[in-house]
Each structure stands twice: as C-alpha cells, then as structure tokens.
Amino acid sequence: MMRSKVKDNLKIASMIAALVIGGCAGMGVQKLAQTQPQGSAFTVALAKEYLDFSSRESNQFYDQISASYFARKGLDAAIGVVVLPETLDRWSIPAGAQSEMQASRDRLLAAINTSTTADVSSELASAQVNFDCWVEEQDENRQPENIAFCRNRYLDAMARAEQKLAAAKQGQSLLPTSPYNVFYKPGKTDVPVEANKVIDQLIVLIKQINDYRMVIDGHTDKTGSPMKNLAISDQRANKMKSAIVLKGAASEKIKTFAYGDSASKDKKGTPNARDRRVDITLFVPENNLLQIGQPQQPAQINQPQPFLQVSQSPQQ
C-alpha cells in the first residue's frame, strides 16, 4: 500500500481524472491487461510483471492508487519503453532501510546494464518489479511480512539472473568500449545526418569481430515534463537502433534503454545540450577489444560548444 510522496501527488491527480472521465483508478490495470506488449524481451517481461503486481494491489489489497501507478509503468513497458526501478528519494523510506535498498537498486541496474551477454529478461523483470514492491511496502512500513515477501522475491530473481550472467561470462566475456555519443537539437528525435559517421564506424568494427552486443541509451535534458522526456529519449534510442540495423547490424544484438531526464544533473530545468544525446556502447570479446582499441573521432557528434545558446523548447 502506498502512502508516500508519490501517493500524495497521485491522490489529487486520480480524483481529477475520475471526475473528468467518470472512470475508476482500476482502469489502468484493465487497460494493461488488454494490451499486447511490444518491444524487447525485457520490456515485454516488465509489462507482464507490472500487470501481476498492479492486479494484486487492486484485487487483493484494494489499493487502487498503487495499482494505477504501477499499471502506468506497465503500459509504458508494453510499448517498448525501459522503465527504471523506483528511486528512493520519491518515497518515505525509513533511514535504517535506505542503505540496503539503495545498494539493491544499484545491483539491479548493474545487472541490467551488463545483460547483453545472456538472456535474463524474465529474471531481471521479476527483480525490478519486486524491488518496486519492496519499496512500496517499506514506504508504508507497517507489514513486515509483506516487506519480506517482496524483498525475498527480489533477492531470488537477482540470484537467478546473476547466476546466468556468470555462466555466460565464463563462456566468453564481452567488454565495453568507450561510449559513442550523438547529440541532438531541442525536441528532435530523428538521427542527425552527422551521426552516419558514427554508424559507419560501428559497422566497420563489428565486421572485424566474432561476436558483439550493443547498448543504446537515450537521454534528454530537464526541460519539458518527465513523461514527454521519457518518450523522446525512447524515440532517440530506437531510431538510432533502426539506423544502425539498416546499415547491417543484427537487431537481436542491440538493446535500447530510455532514461528520459533521469541522468541529468541539472536541477533548474534549463536547456542543456550535453544532456540531449544517445550513448552507444559496443560490447566485444576481450581479444577484440585489444584489436580495435577505443573509439576514435568522430565518436563525438554534434559536440556542443560552451558558448552554444539554445532556445527554450517544451520538449527536450
């Protein structure tokens, strides 16, 4: 059950929504149940896990606000967006639990970021949703058995994921190169023309090696709403993937992640050209890493200058 900063904000929004559309908070769960998930194996698994979680909140605990909130994350995952595990600063987590929970979130993100070497989509999706469940129950801090239930399921899923990742690593370790960065103009999601230099360089590299994986992270600055920024970052990452696949890369070897404005360190919401980017990381076998070295120019495309003036835009 949810009684946090998140829920305080959602109460007002949910009441307004109910008055406007004459619906109920459970509509999000129903919509998610009727949605056919799209995207990667990970986002499809996330959507299914969030459906199970939000249904339990709605039908077992009658917590429609929590159900609606987590169903919304499931709906985003169902269209291929990689939604992130909850951040602790948005919840009222007791001081004594914060250290373990932050370490657990970091552990989960580390596994997600290295999951290019094994198929651990179902395990990581289970770990993420049970971490969110743990956060919500720890926020309420009244039912130790529910806290333990979510925590233990998170730990079990993480153990299974890490076991698979370790087995894959023993077979052949894939190590990351330095990221290639492509920068964008305000509100734009189409692949910049100049990025073809990066794409061509990547294609040349992957033709020289026996195996590879690629991760494309989409980012925005903090101008505009978080939801719009998440959508923009997702479009940037997936359009970049499509462009790279069109040049000859294997689609199944590329994962995309949408971070929205979550990685921006700007606190004022000012336009920041360095935050409007995609980061492309190529994972290659260790012997090939020594062969190809680290990416050279033109890895930095549309690198903003310190004096660059950027006009205000509602979507970044």
What residue ranges do the domains of the chain occupy? 5-170, 174-301
pLDDT of amino acid 9: 52
**One-letter amino acid for residue 265 of the chain:** K
CA distance 1 to 83: 21
CA distance 6 to 217: 26
- Please give the average per-residue pLDDT across 82-93, as a whole number: 93
- Please give the average per-residue pLDDT across 124-138, as a whole number: 97
pLDDT of 57 strictly over 90: yes
pLDDT of amino acid 61: 85
**Alpha carbon of 90 to those of 7, 71, 87, 132, 135: distances in Å?**
10, 18, 6, 12, 10
- Please give the average per-residue pLDDT across 72-78, as a whole number: 95
Judge whether 80 and 52 are in contact, CB under 8 Å. no
Q: Which of 212, 209, 205, 279 is nearest to 241 (CA)?
A: 279
pLDDT of amino acid 246: 96
Specify the pairing of strand 213-218 against strand 254-258: parallel
Compute φ and ψ for 80, nearest 5 degrees. Answer: 100, 5
The pLDDT tens digits of the residues spanning 44-54 come to 999 999 999 99
pLDDT of 187 strictly over 60: yes
Average pLDDT, the chain: 82
pLDDT of amino acid 55: 95
pLDDT of 309 strictly over 60: no
Q: Which of 77, 71, 74, 72 is nearest to 42 (CA)?
A: 77
The pLDDT tens digits of the residues spanning 191-247 come to 999 999 999 999 998 988 878 889 999 999 999 888 899 889 999 999 999 999 999
- Please give the average per-residue pLDDT across 2-28, as a whole number: 48
Choose between 211 and 95: higher pLDDT.
95
Domain 174-301 belongs in CATH node 3.30.1330.60: yes
pLDDT of amino acid 114: 78
Band of residue 307 on the pLDDT scale cut at 50, 70, 90: very low
The residues, ordered by sequence, that sit 6+ positions from 135 with a Cβ below 8 Å of its Cβ are: 85, 86, 88, 91, 93, 101
Choose between 137 and 40: higher pLDDT.
137
- Please give the average per-residue pLDDT across 127-152, as a whole number: 95
pLDDT of 15 strictly over 70: no
Which residues are registered as beta bridge partners of 213?
283
Judge whether 124 and 112 are in contact, CB under 8 Å. yes
Band of residue 288 on the pLDDT scale cut at 50, 70, 90: low
pLDDT of amino acid 131: 98
pLDDT of amino acid 6: 52
